[in-house]
Amino acid sequence: MSSEPKLTDVTNRVEFFIRRFFERVGGVIDFALRRTAVPRTDLAALIPHLEQAVDDNLKHEGARIIAPNLIELRYDYETYTRMGAPRREFLERELTQNIYEYIYNRRYETLSQVQVKIAYDAFTRGLEVRVESGESKAAVLDSPQFNREMPAAVEKTCEVTLRNPASKWQARATVKTTSDAIGIGRNVANAILLDDATVSNFHAAFVLRNDSSLELADRNSANGTSINGVQLDPGDRKIVRDGDRLQFGDVELKLELKMNNE
Q: What are phi and psi of 75, to 5 degrees?
A: -105, 165
Within 10 Å of residue 10's Cβ, how many Cβ atoms? 10
Residue 128 has a pLDDT of 85
pLDDT digit string, tens, across residues 106-115 = 999 998 899 9
Highest mean pLDDT, choosing among 5-9, 19-23, 153-157, 191-195: 191-195
**CA–CA separation, 219 and 88 (whole Å):** 22
pLDDT digit string, tens, across residues 89-112 = 999 999 999 999 999 999 999 988
- How much of the chain, in percent, has pLDDT values that exceed 70? 76
Average pLDDT, integer, range 41-50: 88
